[in-house]
Amino acid sequence: MEKDTQKTKVNFLINENNGELFAFFPEENYTTFSNLKTSYAHIGQHSACSIAYAEESREATETEYAELKEELESIGYNLEILN
């Protein structure tokens, strides 16, 4: 059996207003409404994220997102990092 090598596109972002670091999946709709995408954070894990919230956030550095990337990979994600 061939292993699935499909990658999930992700942006690691930090919202400067509250300091939240999160993974934003721009191609993964959270619901049938395309203005809500899937996101992931250490606390809360998977949740909905508005595109506007992601747009007001800045890209995290590799150092800032390293632990979150590792956590996502540990639960099975094969990531294509867009930062």
Count of structural domains within the chain? 1
What are the helix (H) ranges across 12-61? 51-55
pLDDT tens for the chain, residues 1 to 83: 455 579 999 999 999 999 999 999 999 999 877 789 999 999 889 999 999 999 999 999 999 999 999 999 999 999 999 99
Other residues' Cβ atoms within 10 Å of the Cβ of residue 14: 17
CB neighbours (10 Å) of residue 16?
10
* pLDDT score of 1: 44
Q: Answer yes or no: is 3 within a domain.
A: no
Residue 75 inside a domain? The answer is yes
Structural domain includes residue 2: no
* 1 inside domain: no
Domain range spanning residue 47? Answer: 8-81
pTM: 0.89
Residue found under tokens 């203005």? 35
Q: Rounded to the nearest 10 degrees, how much is the dihedral formed by the CA atoms of 13, 16, 19, 23?
A: -10
Query: What is the pLDDT, as a whole number, of residue 4?
Result: 57
